[in-house]
Amino acid sequence: MAPRSASGQYLAMRPRHLVVPDLGIGIGLRVPHYASILEDQPELGFFEAISENYFGGGKPRFHLERIAERYPMVLHGVSLGIGGPLEPDLDYLRRLKELARLVRAPWLSDHLCWTGSGHVHLHDLLPLPQTPFVVKRIAARARMIQDFLELPFALENTSSYLAFEGSEMSEWEFISEVVEAADVGLLLDVNNIYVSAFNHDLDALQFLRGLPHQRVLQIHVAGHTHFGTHIIDTHVGPTPTPVLDLYREAVRLTGPVSTLLEWDQDIPELPAVLAEAQRLRGARA
Amino acid sequence: MSTSTGGGELEQVDAVLASLTDLIQSPLPTADDGALAELGITPSGRLSARERVDIYRQQFWLRHADSLAEDFPATKTLLDAAWPDVVRRYLSAHPPSTRSLRELGFRLPDFLAALAPTEVPALARDMCRLECAYLEVFDAPDEAPLDPSDVLGLAPEQWLSARLQLSGAVRLLELEQPVADLRRALRQGEASEAQSELAAAPRAVHLVVYRRELGVWDREIAPEAFGLLRCLLLGTPLAQACAESAAESPESEPLLDAHLGEWFATWTRLGWISRVDIP
């Protein structure tokens, strides 16, 4: 597929219910940075909190609320498992909705994956067979979730280390069909595209260009660990150059979209994360 | 609520996901090529199907073992070389089933309690219970503590039937040894001295683990105060709780008479009591 042109042309094509503000560059809200954020009040567009970490009270909830008073806060889930055997858990969704109201989240997101079977939760984001039946199942659930939450809802493309011979479409076709059929947003993770492209011998640019850019509500950028035979999505920083290049192309295709830096392994002091966020700001310009 | 479509084909997909779940949480890599073939996992240009599944399996064990080590550092230190095997057996007996990793080890105290004392010494069992209480209290739902002015006007007869509700961020622990001090020593790298002191003079303790002003604390209390708190935790009305606690030993009643007011004031100040219900 030839590259589509004209940065931002897709913003005008975005469905009205998925119109969200461009918050600029943000970083993931992580425990080691709580105090520095409140003390230093760094210049940042937004924070993204892992929803499940803030369902309780105490120190996590205290800091979430204080930081959400000063910055836009988006919520990102890791346990929905929307493609798994079980239907979405309404109690979980109610708690998520309450949390979103508390921090005035402009949108919510989780992953296009499954996370376990039966009562087992693997705490991983696993790939699905890419078939029309799976598309239909996930799309129906995603649509219901977005209606229930009464906020724009986005699904993130995950990185993966295995694939199924029963898949009947490419991963970008699978993602596109799900979000189009569900009429939900896409959280575009460019590092996950890079990782999966290497692991499955795909063309990362073709993957990126094949996605529905008008539905991209947010972009994730992160680092990874290369093992020679495969790449693991470790979220270790700083962002490798090929991922940064992919990000530049993503921005060219989507226009200005809120972009989040994820740094989850060997998390450095806040200034180092902010310096990396500054690199993204430069790449986005 | 059901949003499923495509019955038979989705059942097949779910069967594949269930089999894959079993392979991923297996302690050892699968040697069954037939099972892999049935799942329809494809090889990549560099890895076989078995190696690709094994990436997830290894990640599963690393992630959950790391999580338990982070949540139970003192228990891990006390179990020393036995820790990896205990973790493997625990995760096999109790596969992760909750959304949050924070709850992964909530069944570890009971699991250790069921193992032979030769495998898990009493010190490690007590430490595990303490560390689990710390985890539970850390982000228990927020509750406003009792405002003393709310109960100032209660008549004496109202107190008799009052039920004192303990905060959800309070745990009561009856331990064979004062492991909270050992935990602090371990955190400060002074474990060997503290362990020697414990071995020389073991003693049972009654401990309250609680959250106050975002911090998690522990406080040793008198057995009589502990007995009373335990009754209150079970929802026993105050007068009955006092009577039951007083009946536990001849020394209890005078202690309760002498200290009840002081205990109540302390418990209120520390946020252990969230409200007083009058029927």
pLDDT digits (tens, 9 = 90+) for B148-172: 888 888 888 898 889 999 999 999 9
B152 touches chain A (CB under 8 A): no
What pLDDT, in 10s, does the model give residues A19-64?
Answer: 999 999 999 999 999 999 999 999 999 999 999 999 999 999 999 9
Q: Verify whether the Cβ–Cβ distance A117 to B20 is below 8 Å.
A: yes
* Mean pLDDT, chain B, whole residue set: 91
Q: Verify whether the Cβ–Cβ distance B100 to A79 is below 8 Å.
A: yes
- Within a domain: A80: yes
- CA B180 vs CA B8, B202, B269: distances in Å: 55, 13, 22
CATH code, domain carrying A248: 3.20.20.150
Report pLDDT for B151: 86
Report pLDDT for A1: 40
Whole-angstrom Cα distance, residue A39 to residue A47? 16
Q: Which of residues 218-247 of A touch B (CB under 8 A)?
A: 228-230, 232
Cβ atoms of B171 and B211 within 8 Å: the answer is no
| DSSP code of residue B52 | H
Q: What is the dihedral of CA B191, B192, B194, B197, to 10 degrees?
A: 170
For residue B2, pLDDT beyond 70: no
What pLDDT, in 10s, does the model give residues B56-112?
Answer: 999 999 999 999 999 999 999 999 999 999 999 999 999 999 999 999 999 999 999
| DSSP code of residue B102 | G
Report pLDDT for A39: 97
Whole-angstrom Cα distance, residue A205 to residue A211? 10
| DSSP code of residue B194 | H
Residues on chain A touching B142 (C-beta within 8 angstroms): 57-58, 61
Residues of chain A with pLDDT > 70, as a percent, come to 96
Whole-angstrom Cα distance, residue B28 to residue B20? 13
For residue B173, pLDDT beyond 80: yes
pLDDT band at B279 (very low <50, low <70, confident <90, very high): confident
Whole-angstrom Cα distance, residue A48 to residue A279? 18
- Calculate how close chain B gets to A115, using CA atoms only, in Å: 9
Whole-angstrom Cα distance, residue A225 to residue B172? 44
Count CB atoms within 10 A of the CB of residue A170: 15
Q: Verify whether the Cβ–Cβ distance B18 to A117 is below 8 Å.
A: yes
| DSSP code of residue B271 | T
Instruction: Say which residues have a Cβ less than 8 Å from residue A122's Cβ, sequence separation at least 6.
Output: A115, A116, B21, B24, B25, B56, B60, B96
Whole-angstrom Cα distance, residue A239 to residue A246? 11
Cβ atoms of B166 and B272 within 8 Å: the answer is yes
Least confident of A244-258, B34-48, B116-130: B34-48
In a mutational test of the A interface, the residue from B50, B99, B274 whose CB has the highest number of chain A CBs within 10 Å is: B99
Number of domains in chain A: 1
pLDDT band at B6 (very low <50, low <70, confident <90, very high): low
Domain containing A207 equals 9-284
B10 touches chain A (CB under 8 A): yes
Section B210-227 average pLDDT: 95
Residues on chain B touching A144 (C-beta within 8 angstroms): 1, 3
